[in-house]
Amino acid sequence: MARLHVVIPALVHTFIRSKTEYPGAMVLGWLSQFAAYGSMYTAISLILARFGSLGGWVWPEIALLLSFHLLAYSLGASLSFVQFREMEEKVRMGTMDAILVKPISTWTYVVFSGLNIGYAGHIVLALGLMGWSLTQVDVTWTIQSGLLFLGYLVSAAMIVAATMTMIGATALVWVKSNHLYQIFFGFWELARYPLNIFPLPLQILMLTFAPLAFMAYVPVAATLGKPVPLLGDWASAAALLSGPLVTLIAMAHWRWCLRNYQGAGG
Amino acid sequence: MAIIAASGVEKIFRQPKRHAGFGGAIRSLFSREFTEVRAVDGISFKIESGEAVGYLGPNGAGKSTMIKMMTGILVPSSGTVEVLGREPHNNRITNAAEIGVVFGQRSQLWWDLPVRDSFDLNRHIYDIPAPRFTENLARLTTMLDMSSYIDRPVRQLSLGQRMRAEIAMALLHDPKILFLDEPTIGLDVVAKDVVRKFLAEVNRDRGTTIILTTHDLVDIEEICPRLIMVDDGKLLFDGELKHLRTALGSRRRLKLEFGSDPGPIALKTAQLVADEGAAKHFLLDSEQTSILDVLTELGSGHDLKDVKLEEPDIEEVIRTFYQNKVQAGAVP
Amino acid sequence: MKLAAYPAFTATAFQSRLAYRNQVWSGVFGELVFMFARIAIWTSVFSTVASDSVDGVTLPQMITYALLAGPVLYWDYSRLLRDVGTAVKSGDIAVYLLKPLLYPAYMLASHTGNFLFDLLTVTVPVAIIIGFTVGLVPPASLFHGLAFLAFWALSFGMLFLLTTILGLAAFWLMTADSLDWFFNSIMILFAGGIVPLWFFPDWLATIAGNLPFAWVSYYPAAIYIGQLDPSQALTAFIIGIVWFAVLLAVLLWLWAKARHRLIVQGG
């Protein structure tokens, strides 16, 4: 029905207008998140400074891993996290019903009527750190490898958005699902270190059921030419394909949840 | 062909069981049991294009659930719902483009933005051509008297103003059917009146089919010639409001006033319920018994001054009905 | 209000947490994952050095430090921060002025309940799991064990004061969310919860070691594994008490100002 190239800008425009009444709070939010991530990365760099390397990765390589992790996360999460964390609330208050009677894809409406511009601080920090680390690591860039790197990034962001969507969709059936985000952020925390420092069962888990290894470690290791456990030469292809694959699963799950939506329960 | 057809519709919700007390809380840390709630239980009806139907029932009767199935939000557990010839959930987007929905208790307007911005966004979402949008907006603004507040943020509006804006928003794309879930809830008398008159007019002049849920009978008296009454998920009555009395078995009251006390009177066609001497109250047994029958049986020779037939108050009829049901339920 | 009423708030807070079972499971999971990340990192970096210990600390000691400095001592303060921040922003805090109780004390009582709940349902199970799977070390000596208990109490009080001060600051400053992030950014580094101060460059360790944040995670955990000798521990405890007194004074002063503001300006 609705033409997406008109509706999406209209939704984003309306949402931003509704938020910019409090610009001070927004800027403080950016700064405070920038500070928190900066502080965490400083802590990690202190360990690297004392010990030289972590799992065979030196500081510039770890910095690339951290910045890729943060960039993929903020790109994916700006499309999903806050919107789907509010899903519980939307279901409980019945606002979800009002969204379901609009002649537009529900996912599109939820995502773009809440497109989060609060990740600006993350993105600035991630781009800065990535820019620096790319000049320090030993990679010869070609147009092909540059495009591949962008493809990894898109795929990684897709994993984030798809996983968040799945968790939010679960609220349609269970009413409560926000505790699952805590589990997501558990794996998210693991995903910013080299996978090879973890025990084998955890490595398998992070490459299969909780595929956040593809969010940063696998693509960055493939870029740096480092050996990837279990995947070996398949790392590059897997990094590219994992995002679309998780997205397909998320779409099926989303549909299933919409079909089994209960409202607030009668 | 019917514009809406429901046949044998059921909706069952699963709700987690809660255990009371401290021990219960510990127990629910480890177990998860469900109870099944049958919100809609075998409902069938047909609605023709251009009708205005009131869907009435007490809280928890399954009114909102039925609306949600007709608008494609929920999927029936069994039975079928068809709206404009389609199954609403599987054709959610096509269906949504042709209907308008107003939820009385949850706003579809953007809280921090002027009313106009929400309307404008809907223009894009519903892909309304600019000339038609302008024309509809102008007409609705006049009819609902919105010009004084259309540029004010929604959070500053009164409930009545907001409800008018909600209804206008649901009509901007000229829907064939307008669903309203409790549209007058919480409104003051004046605001209720404005909403009712407007809805009746939209139904009459533009031929928009209206389905509204309510537990306020005046809504139905003023907007909806047809009434569907439900309780406990089951259909109790479907028909014209004036037939409800008969269907529910309530009886009309006849009051006879005499110049002087005629003494005791016993009739076959009417039952004496109160005797004030010069004024006597009877109940008429059935819809077929007319006043003429009673007067014929009474015959002449009485100093009859006045005859008054009292239709029972519909509100009272329904209340009595539910009360009887509760009492009946109380007896094991 | 009688003092006896405050433990009742503690019990209520504890009980009301029982209703959210999913939070318990995901809390255990979250802390376990956090711990496994720490363990993996320390195991990996310790394996790159030739000797058994680094700066006098062995790997099992380092893992014990990580458990104490993280889940045990650095409890989830954001619930408290949000409680105070929201009450301040929404004006609900005025309600507490009508009640015969001291708001900060009420907060202390009810968040002690939350703390005990998390300790019993999350921290202790996590410690047991880590203890059996990876192994934890006992305190360095009886003295260090007892000193740890005293430092633990001080740590709880310190984090409570810091958080409540921050929450009340929402009166004059920003949203509780931003405060949470800013506070977190300081704590990540200066509390020593992620990286102990002995791995810091000297100048940074000196600064961090004298700021009150270090008493939340670093000092108690470092004393448990025996990184400070008795005289160092005593000095640290005295400085900690001074910081505690200063922060308490700041809190009471802020609360008085907030009350004044509420009464004069009506919120």
DSSP B68-119: HHHTTSS--SEEEEEETTB-TTTTHHHHHHHEEEEETTS--S-TTSBHHHHH
Please give the pLDDT value at position A118: 84
Average pLDDT over residues A181-189: 91
Please give the pLDDT value at position B249: 64
B8 belongs to a structural domain: yes
Question: Average pLDDT, whole number, for chain B?
Answer: 85
Identity at A49, one-letter amino acid code: A
Note whether B101 contacts A: Cβ–Cβ < 8 A: yes
Q: What is the DSSP string of B20-59?
A: -HHHHHHHHHH---EEEEEEEEEEEEEE-TT-EEEEE--T
Please give the pLDDT value at position C251: 94
Considering only CA atoms, give the Rg of chain C.
Answer: 19
B328 belongs to a structural domain: no
At B256 the three-state DSSP class reads strand
C267 pLDDT exceeds 60? no
Note whether A245 contacts B: Cβ–Cβ < 8 A: no
Please give the pLDDT value at position B330: 43
> At A219, is the pLDDT very low, low, confident or very high (cuts 50, 70, 90)?
very high
Considering only CA atoms, give the Rg of chain B.
Answer: 25
Which of B204-218, B300-314, C151-165 tops mean pLDDT?
A: C151-165
C13 within 8 A of C111, measured Cβ to Cβ: yes
Give C201-228 pLDDT, tens digit per residue.
999 999 999 999 999 999 999 999 999 9
B29:C15 CB<8 A: no
* Closest residue of chain C to B20, computed from CA coordinates: C19
At B266 the three-state DSSP class reads coil
Which residues face B102 on adjacent strands? B180
A50 pLDDT exceeds 60? yes
B122 pLDDT exceeds 90? yes
**Shared domain check, B278 and B234:** no
* Closest residue of chain C to B23, computed from CA coordinates: C18
Q: How far is A100 from chain B (nearest CA, A)?
A: 6
Percent of chain B with pLDDT over 90: 49
- The CA distance from B290 to B308, in Å, is 12
**Shared domain check, B215 and B188:** yes
Q: How far is CA B286 from CA A56, B236, B243, B290, B317, in A?
A: 94, 20, 12, 9, 15
Identity at B25, one-letter amino acid code: A
**Shared domain check, B163 and B227:** yes
Please give the pLDDT value at position C151: 97
**Shared domain check, B179 and B259:** no
Long-range Cβ pairs for the range B146-149 (8 Å, 24+): B146/B115, B149/B115
Q: How far is C140 from chain A (nearest CA, A)?
A: 24
**Shared domain check, B121 and B55:** yes
* Closest residue of chain C to B19, computed from CA coordinates: C19
Give A60-69 pLDDT, tens digit per residue.
999 999 999 9
B323 belongs to a structural domain: no
Angle between helices A4-19 and B115-125 (to 10 degrees): 160
B162 belongs to a structural domain: yes
The minimal CB distance from B125 to the residues A7, A259, A260 is found for A7
Please give the pLDDT value at position B331: 38
CATH number at residue B222: 3.40.50.300
B326 belongs to a structural domain: no
Which residues face B53 on adjacent strands? B211, B226
**Shared domain check, B271 and B241:** no
B143 belongs to a structural domain: yes
> Residue B288 is part of which domain span?
251-311
Chain pair A-C, CB pairs under 8 angstroms: 104
Q: C138: which 2 tokens?
A: 């006992």
Q: How far is CA A39 from CA A50, C39, C194, in A?
A: 17, 20, 11
**Shared domain check, B287 and B238:** no
B26:C18 CB<8 A: yes
Please give the residue that has the higher pLDDT: either B10 or B273.
B10
- Of the candidates A35, A108, A123, the one whose C-alpha atom is nearest the C-alpha of residue A71 is A123
With contacts defined as CB-CB under 8 Å, which chain A residues touch B101?
98, 101
B224 within 8 A of B210, measured Cβ to Cβ: yes
Question: Which distant-in-sequence residues (6+ apart) come within 8 Å of C53 by Cβ?
Answer: C61
Question: C165-193 burial string, b = 16+ CB within 10 Å, else e?
Answer: bbbbbbbeebbbbbbbbbbbbebbbbbbb
With contacts defined as CB-CB under 8 Å, which chain B residues touch A94?
103, 105-106
- The CA distance from B268 to B151, in Å, is 67
B37 belongs to a structural domain: yes
B125:A95 CB<8 A: no
At C248 the three-state DSSP class reads helix
**Shared domain check, B149 and B211:** yes
Give C102-158 pLDDT, tens digit per residue.
888 989 999 999 999 999 999 999 999 999 999 999 999 999 999 999 999 999 999
Interface of C with B in 11-70 (CB under 8 A): 15, 18-19, 21, 24
Please give the residue that has the higher pLDDT: either A190 or C175.
A190
A10:B121 CB<8 A: yes
B318 belongs to a structural domain: no
**Shared domain check, B279 and B241:** no
With contacts defined as CB-CB under 8 Å, which chain C residues touch B19?
none
Q: A110: which 2 tokens?
A: 């939820």
Note whether B20 contacts C: Cβ–Cβ < 8 A: no
Q: Domain ends where: B246, B273, B300? A: B246
Question: Average pLDDT, whole number, for chain A?
Answer: 92
Give B258-291 pLDDT, tens digit per residue.
888 887 888 877 878 788 888 888 877 666 777 7
B332 pLDDT exceeds 50? no
Residue C87 neighbours by CB distance under 10 Å: 20
Into how many domains does chain B fold? Answer: 2
B318 pLDDT exceeds 70? yes
Interface of B with A in 107-126 (CB under 8 A): 107-108, 110-113, 117-118, 120-121, 124-126
Average pLDDT over residues A72-86: 94
B125:A260 CB<8 A: no
Q: What is the DSSP string of B8-29?
A: EEEEEEEEE----HHHHHHHHH
Chains that touch C (3 or more CB pairs under 8 A): A, B
